[in-house]
Structure 1
Amino acid sequence: MPIWKRNLYVCWFGMFVTGIGMSQIAPVLPLFIKQLGVNSVGLIAQLSGLTFGITYIVSAIFSPIWGHAADKVGRKPMLLRASLGMAIIIFCMGFSTNVVMLIVLRLLQGAITGYSTACTTLIAVQTDKEHAGYALGMLSTANVAGSLIGPTIGGFIEDTIGLRPVFFITGLLMFIAFLATLLFVRENFIREDQKGLSSREIWNSVPERRLTIILSVTYFIITFGLYSIEPIVTVYVAQLSKETSHVALIAGLVFSASGLANIIAAPRLGKLSDRIGAHKIILFSLIAAGLIYIPQAFVTNPWQLMGLRFLLGLTMGGLNPSVNTLIKKITPGSITGRIFGFTISAGYLGVFGGSVLGGQAAAAFGIRSVFYITSALLLFNAVWVYFNVYKRLENRDVVSVNHKE
């Protein structure tokens, strides 16, 4: 088995578990905060939002920093640091005795992360051009699927054996990811020294700066669209459902449907992007996703919503790997980690922005407005991509500047 493929499988498991670790707290957070001594409904809601969002904000800040470190010392050391650090921190959350302790640990979780950045960089620089779309497509399913399925897993564990075991089990899984990385990931790291270069000089060394910015913004909008429904899905399902006893379970299934579809579609669309061009997949997927959001505002039962969310996941599966494939092709190998760090930061901000603004839009204009707003955002992004990416790359081959190719 080629080294890149073995590393891909290990990184997939690690990123999947990392995604679960970042998101599994969502459905149990209000219950856990109440258990820690907060009784005011309004204060529980405020603290839940702060505790959930702070991890993604801090991750967005630290992701480029860890990407820089990966370019300097290697990607495997960053994988080991992030997986072991998250295992310890998440496990310790189960021993929280007050909300302040929980918030501090969530903050540290965001700061110690960087597993996704290091994984994406490692696979990008190790994989040849012919398999880049498949490899990055496969990898992109892991974090997205873990993040989307995480709330269902967290809710199931809480319902079965209690609140605190959610953290203990997730920490144990992260430790298994650490061991798998230690034993099976192989990297022959050769540092391309850029000592003495300022951040501005490094940025100026990127051949396609405008395209890199457009792709990062697109990545932000992708994750924004996926997570805009998170704060409202339970309420929306309750409105649509005649059965009130299983609303939480049905809501978890609705939200996780996108993750399942993403797992199915991303590797296949990644392979297709290797054949026809990643820019075509990006444009098609943005248009399809934007259109699929509209009928979600008109569903009459939760199962229709679940089906549409599944279709949405199929279209979204073409976006992440295609964005990463294009970034790999236009970025010099010596700064790949830093550029992927910025892109993944945009994704973290999209998770936070989608969760927060989705809830605010629902409160101000009604739940169904969230789908219209997200649809408009995706379709506007498609128009922007058409003129600035698709038309530009359709007339010429994307020149790869990665020294590995």
Structure 2
Amino acid sequence: MKKSPLVILFLTVLLDLIGFGIVLPLLPTYAKDLGASPLMIGFIAAVYSSMQFIFSPLWGKLSDVIGRRPVMLGSILLASISYVFFSQATTIPLLILARGMSGMGSANIAAAQAYITDVTDSQGRSKAMGMLGAAFGIGFIIGPLIGGFLKTNFGIEMVGLVAAALIGIDFILAIFFLPESNKEAIKISQLFTQKAISGPRQSVVALVSSKVSDYTQSVNDAFSSRPIAMLMTTNFIFTFGIVNMQIASILLWKEFYLTSDQQIGYLFAYVGFLSVIVQGGLIGKLNKILGEHKLFTWGHILSFIGVFFIPFVPQSNLFSIGLFILFFFAMGTSLVNPINISMTSLYSYNKKQGQIMGLAQSVNSFARILGPFSGSILYGINHKTPFIVAGILMIIGTVISLGLFKYDIEALEPAAESVNA
């Protein structure tokens, strides 16, 4: 039964990302059509990431208690229902509700990763985790194509219904083919017994206190090492800059380049396709030639070209010069994100690596919450401003990345271990 659950997990992430990709390119312009201000558009975009930030650890913790299967089934069903709400979202409050529910439902990645840990050994785990990464890339290629086609030909209601149907199919498959992997889990019926209820209630305060203490210690550990602090900073700056211009780019293409929703879907799919090529194998070959430090710096430089020049493309050349600029964007972002994760892991102290990597994910999530607000507000000031700001942030990231060259990983690690032993 090892292969079947992993296939279902792959489908879960794939269909969820298809649903996300179907909606994302359409969301800013649809919100604007409903009368949303630039600040409100940013808020609507940030709701999804905020719910993921809050519910991902909660779903993961809950899956330790009641099992992976009920958490996965419940979250998949919630995601499907959220897109039904989206299909009927003719007011801004209903659209916010739909995006919040979608973020809660799609925050099951922690439970999915825990499931993989349950059903794989150490040798097969990396391959299985890579399978989830591939689902992200493929979903982001297919989703925008479907969304643009549906919106152009059938309207926004069909966009939501198709997304709901795809995830609904995944829910049905999970019911029949996703067995429980957590053998230590408490059955849901047991949760209503006095014994099962009293324990968790007594430990809530201690658990929260422990989590706050762990997070504080993670921050102290991370920023006590200069290279890790630099990587955390570039992580936030880079993610914030990219998300800052993503929402603005959709509005820009729609309003200033007069592109259709279907054409915007093509642009997103083009970037997704290039990203899969880079992360699917090209990055490994480039790493052997240049090394991670140089590749990290080049990723920031390429990203600068890919974000700064977007609003300066001549209006009649979006699908020639514009695609050329987006090539640099796809290359740069596909290099920086995985290399940042890799270098953070390499520079982390072995005994604290889990905590530091968790903090890095939190930093990334926080940037994804703030970015849409910034991009929407700056776009309201001037349509070029979000891209100029993003370009400046890429330059800052480049400067910080150059500073990492003086820190040798092999020479630094023993000292870091001795300090934090």
The CA distance in 1 between the partners of 2:249 and 2:404, in whole Å, is 34
Does residue 63 (structure 1) correspond to residue 39 (structure 2)? The answer is: no
* Cα distance change, pair 70–382 in 1 and its aligned pair in 2 (3 A): farther
Q: List aligned pairs for 1:3-402, cutoff 5 A.
A: 10-26=8-24, 28-29=26-27, 41=35, 43=36, 48-70=41-63, 78-96=71-89, 98-120=91-113, 126=120, 128=122, 132=126, 139-143=132-136, 146=139, 150-181=143-174, 183=177, 187=181, 198-203=210-215, 204=217, 209-210=222-223, 217-234=233-250, 236-237=252-253, 241=257, 244=258, 246-269=259-282, 271=284, 281-296=295-310, 298-300=312-314, 301-303=317-319, 304-325=321-342, 343-367=360-384, 369-387=385-403, 391-393=407-409, 395=411
Contact 2:80 2:167 in 1 (8 A): yes
The CA distance in 2 between the partners of 1:14 and 1:49, in whole Å, is 27
The CA distance in 2 between the partners of 1:252 and 1:315, in whole Å, is 20
Single out whichever of 115-124 and 57-66 deviates more from structure 2: 115-124
Contact 2:274 2:330 in 1 (8 A): yes
* Cα distance change, pair 25–341 in 1 and its aligned pair in 2 (3 A): farther
Contact 2:55 2:107 in 1 (8 A): yes
Shift of 1:155: 2.9
Counterpart residue identity of residue 300, structure 2: L
- TM-score with structure 2 length normalisation? 0.69
Higher percent of residues as helix: 2
Deviation per CA, 1:262-321, whole angstroms, max 9, x where unpaired? 122112156559979766654442343234434445433202112221332133223333
The CA distance in 2 between the partners of 1:309 and 1:127, in whole Å, is 39
Shift of 1:85: 2.0
* Cα distance change, pair 66–286 in 1 and its aligned pair in 2 (3 A): farther
Q: Aligned-pair RMSD on alpha carbons?
A: 4.6
The CA distance in 1 between the partners of 2:293 and 2:59, in whole Å, is 28
Instruction: State, as a whole percentage, how many aligned pairs show the same letter.
Output: 22
Contact 1:75 1:119 in 2 (8 A): yes
Shift of 1:231: 3.2
The CA distance in 1 between the partners of 2:406 and 2:67, in whole Å, is 33
Counterpart residue identity of residue 315, structure 1: G
Single out whichever of 61-70 and 136-145 deviates more from structure 2: 136-145
The CA distance in 1 between the partners of 2:256 and 2:92, in whole Å, is 34
Counterpart residue identity of residue 323, structure 2: M
Counterpart residue identity of residue 407, structure 2: K
Contact 2:116 2:128 in 1 (8 A): yes
Shift of 1:156: 1.7
Deviation per CA, 1:335-389, whole angstroms, max 9, x where unpaired? 95x877655554444344333322333443541x433322231232243345459
The CA distance in 1 between the partners of 2:231 and 2:7, in whole Å, is 26
Over alpha carbons, which structure has the higher Rg? 2
Contact 1:54 1:107 in 2 (8 A): yes
Q: Which runs of 5+ in 2 are unaligned?
A: 186-202
Structure 2 counterpart SS, 1:251: helix
Contact 2:147 2:265 in 1 (8 A): no
